[in-house]
Amino acid sequence: MKKVALFVDVQNVYYTTRQAYKRNFNYNAFWRQATAERNVVGAFAYAIDRGDQKQREFQNILRAIGFDVRLKPFIQRSDGSAKGDWDVGITIDALEHGASADIIVLVSGDGDFDLLATALREKGKTVEVFGVPALTAASLEQAATHFYPIEEELLL
C-alpha cells in the first residue's frame, strides 16, 4: 500500500470554498478520498487560533477525523491588519514528514506552494493538490502531479 501524508491549509480552504460556493469544505469526504487504499503516515491541519469555543469544537472534529491540528495565534496588528500564515510551517513539515511518504497531498490554492510541489516531485514524490478551481494558482496546479478540484462531492 502506498504511504500518504496530508497537509491542509485550513484558512485557505475555508475562505476559498466560502467565496466560490458559500459552503464549507467536507473534511470527512476529503479524508475518505485522499486516504482510500493508502497508509496514512501523517495528517496535519494548519489553523489560526482565535480562542473561541466554536473554533475549538471544529479543531476537535479535525482531531477525531485523524488530523494533527497545528495552531498559531491570531495576531492583530496596531494598524488593524491581521497576520495568520502557515506557509513556512506547512513547507517545513511537508519536506520533513514527506520523506516517509510516497504521496503528498496538499489542500490549498496558494501559489506560494508551487515551489514546494516542484521540490517534492524532484525528490520522486507524487504531489496531489486539492483546491477550488477558480481560486487555485495556475502555477500550483501545474507543479502538482495531480490536481483535484474541490467541487460538490467535497462540500457540505
Write the pLDDT tens digit of every residue in 53-64. Answer: 998 999 999 999
User: Are 3 and 101 contacting, i.e. CB atoms less than 8 angstroms apart?
Assistant: yes
pLDDT at 73: 80
| Cα-trace Rg, the chain | 15
pLDDT at 84: 63
pLDDT at 50: 81
pTM of this structure = 0.93
CA proximity to 147, closest of 91, 96, 109: 109
The list of the chain residues with pLDDT below 50 reads none
Report the alpha-carbon distance of residue 117 to residue 134 in Å, rounded: 19
The SS3 call for residue 38 is: strand
7-28 pLDDT, tens digit per residue, is 999 999 999 999 999 999 999 9
Place of cell 501545474: 142
